[in-house]
Structures are given as structure tokens and as C-alpha cells.
Amino acid sequence: MTAETKDFRLDGIYVQRQEGFFMQRVKLPAGVISAQQARTVALAAERFGRGSLHLTTRGSIEIHWLTEADLPAMKTMLASVGLTSRGACGGAVRGITCGSSQDSAHFPQIEILARRLQRHFAGNPRFERLPKKFKIGIESSVAGKRHLIQDVGLVLNQGEDGRNAYDVWVAGGLGREPQPGFLLTPAVPEERIIPLIEAILRIYAADTPPGKRVKHLLRTIGEEEFRRRIAADPTSSEELPPYKGFPETLISGRTSTERVTAHFIAGNLTGKDLSALADFADSWSDGVLMVGSNQDIVFQPAAGKDGQSARAELEWLGFQPHADRQVTCRVCPGNHECRAGLAATRDIAAAVTEAMGPAAKRLTWAVSGCHNSCTQPQLADFGIMTSRLQRGEGEQRIPLFDLFRSQVDGLGEKIESGLGLTELIAAVQRLG
């Protein structure tokens, strides 16, 4: 049996571009990971993955360069500290993301819900072997527009009664046919969220052809019929008993409202880096790290610790804690490691940022190696997506790029298409 025919994806494992190598994705609820867990991931990367780690825009950590023989030991190692990768790839409910790690007031309650959803859906055979991936994201506001690109996007909408409630957006997604999600129901009490998502998942699994997302089902049957089918599912209006017990959250709402961030080029760091950051977290942020949506690592200073000193310490350790000293540019692995990649994204990002003037450097950027749009180019101020390969001389294939610009409402719009690298750089330079 070849690696391709094995059902590795549900275990969060992709076949890498380089034959004989694999990538393991670790899903973290709302991007939160303890120092102990981070140390284990770091050790796994050093032991099995050439020491290289990649932070994703969805708050996961990827370990590349694994051999097939490493995979069982890797799984055991992750499980030893309560980490799972089940459903991190393939037709399953993916990691529960949250791009609101900077919102100290609301992040703890979002983290609690993210943990609950991950525990309910990860590895649940009722919700595996779906037609394609199913993404859930929770946000404290609509500001980042990340709710628009999820199969289910939850946006905190706390009523006057103090009950946790969420606006439920559905059927969004990027990819070859980007489509913003639509508001299915406002202010759904938290006790109804799991049953409602179950109803959406059941309809998705039953009525959608293989390889298609929820957005395809919506396009096929229309919003009215989509709503009717969900409403007809018995669990769509079910309310579970309120959760009682001590809070299951690593991020405390009672310490600092500050945030300290370690920035990385293209979301790449080494196992040694992560290990050092885990030690930093033990000293400065109650032993907790958060993988942020810009492929960075965010810390909430512990009680009695101030952000300025924490930043100075991070800098002394060799990390970049100052956002204004580095262009915010999300970059996927592209054809450096990803089988779908059409371009060497890190090289493209380096060439583009090198050419930027001061105005362009202040903007947020994203570079994706194919139309799958893993870095969410349609949510950055400017996004670069590799759209296709053009035949060059002999066997040479030249990548062409589409350029997106953010809009006031909705997803970013394509403003240029089919640009070669020289034309792309010229377009970036025109921004000043």
C-alpha cells in the first residue's frame, strides 16, 4: 500500500511534496498551547522533523520532514501531553480557530467554547469522512472578517441578560471560488451552538457531493432551501443544559490586558525557538502561548509582569517583538514543501517585501502558493495568490500571480491577474 492510499489525512497528516516525507498538523483550540505541550512539539520537531516548525493562519502548528516510520511515535508523543491532530486534515471538522487573541476581555470565554467544540467534534466518527474539510472559527467581533471564510463562523453577541450568545454565519470559504458566509441566525445562545452545528454537518454530509464544501451546497440549493433543511433537522433548535463546572481555559481573564507578540518570517521557527518560547512563557505568561492569525506567537503577561519588560526579554532572547520592524506578511509553505504549491512562496514574499516602499510596508500582506488560499489573501490589505503556471523555456514553468485588495465590506477583490514576478513587484512598488 502506498502512502497516498493510506488514510493518513484524518490523522492530520499530509504527504509532502518531497517523496517519502510527511507533514503532521497539530490542532490547537483557539491556537492556545501550554508551555509543556509546546516543549513536546519542539522536541518532536527536533527528533523527527529536522527541527523545523510552521505556524498556520488558523492557529495550528505543522511539523514537516517526517518519515512514515516516525508517524506512530509522533502521535504517541503528542498524545502524552493531551494534544491531538485528529481531523486536522481531510474531510473532518478542522481545528477550531480564533483570530481574536488580542481581545483580552473576551478571549477566555471564546477559548472555553473552542475547547468544547474541539472535544465534541475531533475524532467523532459521526463527523468524519465528510465530503471535504469543515472549518469552524470563533471571533469576538466581525472586524477581521474571518467569520466570512468559515463553514461556520461564530461571532460573540452577548445579550443584555449576560448570556453568552453568538451570531452564526455559514457557508463561507476561499479557494478557487471564494464566497463570503451569510448570517444564518443572530444571537444563538451558547447552549444551542453544538446541536446547531451538528444539524449543519448532517445536512452537509448527506446532500453534498464528495470534494465539495458547504458553500457548494448553498450555491446548489439556495439560501431559502438551505435554511429550510437546517430548520427541519431536530437538533437545530435543541438546547443543551448549561455547562457547569470550573472553567477549562488556559488564558485567564484576570491578569493583564496587554499582549506581547513574537513575530516570525513566513511563520517559520525551529524546535529550539519554540522550546525557548515555552521557557519564556513559564516566566512571563503563566506558561501559556497562543498561535496568532498572523503566524506569530502571542503572550498575555502574568499578573505583576509588564509588557515592556517582556518585550525586552524576548528581544534579548533573539526574537522580534516589534511589529513595526517587520512587514506583516503571511506566507504558506508553497512549493517548498506543499504538493499543491505552484510557487516558491518564501522567495516570492522575500522579493516582494524587499521591493516595498514605506507605505506598502505598513500594510498587511499574504502570499499563497495556490488557489487554496491558506494564508487568506482576501483578508489582508493586499493578497498575492499564485494562480497558475505558464510554460517557459524547455521544461521551465513560470508562476503567475493574482493580486487582491481589501474592501470595506466582504472579501478582498482581485485587482490584477496573471502577473509575472516582475509585474507583481512593479505593482507593489506603485503602492509607495
Give the Cα separation of 255 and 240 in Å (integer).
31
Q: Cβ-closest residue to ligand SF4?
A: 369
Length of the chain: 432
Q: State which residue, 370 or 427, has the beta carbon closest to ligand SF4.
A: 370
Determine how many CB atoms are found less than 10 A away from the CB of residue 132. 20
Asked whether 157 and 113 are in contact (CB, 8 A), the reply is no
Handedness of CA 31, 361, 335, 63 (dihedral sign): negative
Q: Minimum distance between the CB of residue 376 and ligand SF4, rounded to whole angstroms?
A: 10
Q: State which residue, 266 or 297, has the beta carbon closest to ligand SF4.
A: 266
Nearest 5°: the CA angle 389, 393, 397 is 20
Burial of 391 (0-12, 13-18, 19+ CB in 10 A): exposed
Q: Minimum distance between the CB of residue 372 and ligand SF4, rounded to whole angstroms?
A: 4
Q: State which residue, 236 or 376, has the beta carbon closest to ligand SF4.
A: 376
- Provide the 8-state DSSP code for 233: S
Q: Mutual orientation of helices 307-316 and 271-284 as an angle, nearest 10°?
A: 150
Amino acid code (one letter) for 129: R
Q: State which residue, 212 or 227, has the beta carbon closest to ligand SF4.
A: 212
Q: State which residue, 292 or 341, has the beta carbon closest to ligand SF4.
A: 341
Handedness of CA 283, 284, 286, 290 (dihedral sign): negative
Nearest in space to 41 (alpha carbons), one of 8, 68, 12: 12
Q: Minimum distance between the CB of residue 392 and ligand SF4, rounded to whole angstroms?
A: 20
Q: Mutual orientation of helices 345-355 and 421-429 as an angle, nearest 10°?
A: 30
Give the Cα separation of 227 and 256 in Å (integer).
42
Radius of gyration of the chain (CA): 21
Q: Minimum distance between the CB of residue 365 and ligand SF4, rounded to whole angstroms?
A: 14
Q: Minimum distance between the CB of residue 288 and ligand SF4, rounded to whole angstroms?
A: 27
Give the Cα separation of 250 and 30 in Å (integer).
11
- Which cell numbers hold the place of 268? 517559520
Q: Minimum distance between the CB of residue 198 and ligand SF4, rounded to whole angstroms?
A: 28
Amino acid code (one letter) for 123: G
Q: State which residue, 140 or 295, has the beta carbon closest to ligand SF4.
A: 295
Q: State which residue, 58 or 75, has the beta carbon closest to ligand SF4.
A: 58
Q: State which residue, 34 or 373, has the beta carbon closest to ligand SF4.
A: 373
Residues that bind ligand SF4 (CB under 6 A): 332-334, 338, 340-341, 368-370, 372-374
Which residue has cell 448527506?
206
Q: Minimum distance between the CB of residue 16 and ligand SF4, rounded to whole angstroms?
A: 10
Q: Minimum distance between the CB of residue 6 and ligand SF4, rounded to whole angstroms?
A: 20
Q: State which residue, 85 or 368, has the beta carbon closest to ligand SF4.
A: 368
Q: Minimum distance between the CB of residue 378 and ligand SF4, rounded to whole angstroms?
A: 12
